[in-house]
Every structure is written in structure tokens, then in C-alpha cells.
Amino acid sequence: MSILLSLSLAHLLNDALQSVIAAVYPILKENLSLSFTQVGLITLVYQICASVFQPVFGWWFDKRPNPWYLIVGSLSTMIGLVVLAYAGALYGVLIAVAFVGLGSSVIHPEASRLTHWASGGQHGLAQSIFQVGGNFGSSLGPLLAALIIAPYGQHYIVWFAGVAFVSILFKWPIFRWYRVKLRRMRSGATKVAVGRPVWLSKRRIVGSLVILLVLIFSKYVYMASLTNFYTFYLIEKFGVTTQQSQLFLFAFLLATAVGTLLGGPIGDRVGRKYVIWGSILGAAPFALWMPHANLFWTGVLSVVIGLVISSAFSAILVYAQELLPTKLGLISGLFFGLAFGIAGIAAAVLGNIADIRGIDYVYRFCAYMPLLGIVAVFLPDIKTKRS
């Protein structure tokens, strides 16, 4: 449990720093005179660097485990934040977010793989503990940006680079545990437990993975509209200030942290299929209502949506790991990478749509995405079948 909590803390600090990028979009847009399309481009570059390399890194970590990887990831994030603090043009921002994205691309598959190792067989609970750290960190980013960056300006992002350096120190217990574990594994003194292969045929496994990818698509296209453009939506539609919009974003992201914590253990008890199905499809009524709500109900609905839809990812990831239990790093990198990549592409496309049709149209269009959660009905119930 101490290692799980350390990994969750590492995820918290990493995602808090990552979320600063989206939180300072209004500041960057004003300082550099950016269009919504350019804001989407920034997200696209960030998400590509944080997604395309994740399955590659995850595959490499499975083959060549090393306790230094997490520290290298934090160093990359720190460099990116320093560059972002002093970027005076779009190309500087793109370079900065590329470094930050690469840091995330290292940390997510490696830390998720180690979480599975340290789970003690309670994979859903372990992934929820790991994920809730990331979600809580993501909610802290906009709050800290509202308190530190919004009042004082872009250069104050450099303080977050200092946090990235401090995060390296918090990874030291993981480093020592991992180094000892690798030494014992290489000497043959201990082995990492590997889950049993599922009873499904290869064709059914592939089909189940495709369904999971559709669910990832629906979830993260909708999430992209909230995490990247929610502040702009509130400012344009309701006339709130930048600081007020960031507080609304904080409330939404905090709700996603709570939902994530609940999703894993519920999946361990009742089956991950039902958590996946209920979380994505269950968010649809609230998503369809939100574009027509006033400011108060928009805030309430965004919190409900965050609470419901966020429980899906831990269940999806563990479900996929159970399908291919010998490829933990690859699966972790693939699904984290797809989540980031889909969100990045969606941000670029949605940014362009917002420039052409308006930000309100984006929210009315994306409200239908959670309805794709209906495809979860075709997933086999692995837990029930095994028992």
C-alpha cells in the first residue's frame, strides 16, 4: 500500500503539472493573440507527444525495466515548464508542451505497470488509487493557475517547474523499491505474479479491445470539450471572469477524481463490464442537458458528469490488462496513449469548429458522444464467466 500511495502521489504531481497547460490557455491566448485553432494545435502537439510514444515506451519498459525512467520523465516535464514560462511566440509554446508531453509519456505507462505489480491481486482498487492521484492532480492545476498564474502572469509558470524538481524527491521510495525488486527478479529470488489468460478466443479478445477503443473514443472526445474549452464556454456564454471559470473547471476535475476512486473497487466487486457501461452511457442524459442549462445548473451538471464518466477509465484499463496479462506496459501505454491522442485530435478539431461555428455549437455536438457507451453491452463478462 505504501508503494501504491507513492505511485498515486507521483501521478498526482505529474498530472497537476500537466493540467497547468490547459488552465493557462486563456492567458496564452491573450498574451500571444492566439486563435482557437492555434489553441487546439497546442493541445494536439502536447497530446501527440504524450500519446504516440506511450505504447512504444510501455513496450520498452516491459523489455528493459529500469528504476530511472520515472525520474527522467519528471526532468522532461520540468524543462518543458521552464520553456513555457518564457515562451514569447507560438513555436516556443509548442516546444514546451512537447517536453511536458514526453514526460507524461514516460510516467503513465511505467507507473501504471508498477501499480499492477504492487496491487496484491486487487487490480481495480490499485488502479483507482493510482488514477485518483492523477485526477486529483489534474483538478489542482487549474486552481493553482487561478491563484498563482492568472493574477501575476505567464512567467510564474516557472514555479511549477520547481514543483517538478521536488516531485523527483517523492519518487525516491519507488526508486528504491523498484531497484530491490529488479535485483531479486534477476537473481531468481522472486517473480512477478502474472494473471491467468482469459478463456476468450484470440478473435474475441481483439473484438473486445476494439469495443474498448470505441469507448475510449467516446469518453475522451467528450472530455476534450470540457478540459480544453470549458473555461472559454463559461466566459463566452455566461460572462464569468477567467478566475471564476478556472474554479468551475477545478470543481469538474475534482469530481472526476472522486468518480475514479469509486470505479475500480466497484469493478472488482460487480464486474468491470457494468462499470464501463454505466459510467459512459450513464453520463449521456446530463451531457445532453448541459448545453441548455443556466450557469448554476451547468456547474452542477459538469460535476455530476465528471463523477459518473470518470469511473470508466480504471475499469477499461484493468479489463484490457486482464485480456492480455503478460503485456502490462504495452497495454498501459496503448490505452493511456490513445486517451491522450484522441483527446489531442479532438481538441484540434473542436477548436477549429469553435472558430467556425462557435463554442456553444461544440457543446451541443459533443453532448451526443456518451451515447456510444451502449456498445459496452457487447463486452463479455469475464468475472462472471471465470467464476
List Cα–Cα distances, 352 to 133, 177, 226, 347, 349, in angstroms.
32, 46, 15, 9, 5
At 190 the pLDDT is: 53
Q: How far apart are the first and last CA of the chain?
A: 27
> Is residue 80 predicted with pLDDT exceeding 50?
yes
For 33-73, the pLDDT digits (tens) are 878 778 878 877 887 887 778 888 877 877 787 888 888 88
pLDDT digits (tens, 9 = 90+) for 201-250: 778 888 888 898 888 888 888 988 887 788 888 998 898 888 788 888 88
Q: What's the predicted TM-score (pTM) here?
A: 0.65
Q: What is the pLDDT of residues 278-289, one digit of tens each?
A: 888 888 999 999
Look at residue 290 in the predicted model and tell me its pLDDT.
92
- Collect all residues with Cβ–Cβ distance below 8 Å to 22 and sequence separation of at least 6: 43, 141, 142, 227, 228
**What value does the mean pLDDT take over residues 356-375?**
89
Output the CATH code of domain 2-386: 1.20.1250.20
pLDDT of residue 386: 40
Q: For the segment 99-157, what is each residue's pLDDT rounded down to a tens digit?
A: 988 988 888 788 877 887 777 667 777 777 877 777 777 767 777 777 777 677 777 78
Q: What is the mean pLDDT of residues 71-81?
A: 89
pLDDT at 302 over 50: yes
As to burial, measured by CB atoms within 10 angstroms (0-12 exposed, 13-18 middle, 19+ buried), residue 196 is: exposed
pLDDT tens readout for residues 323-364: 877 777 777 777 777 776 777 678 778 888 888 888 889 889
Residue 383: which pLDDT band, with cuts at 50, 70 and 90? low
Mean pLDDT to the nearest integer, 285-307:
92
| Measured distance CA(107)–CA(73) in Å, rounded | 6
Closest CA to 229 of 25, 18, 15: 25
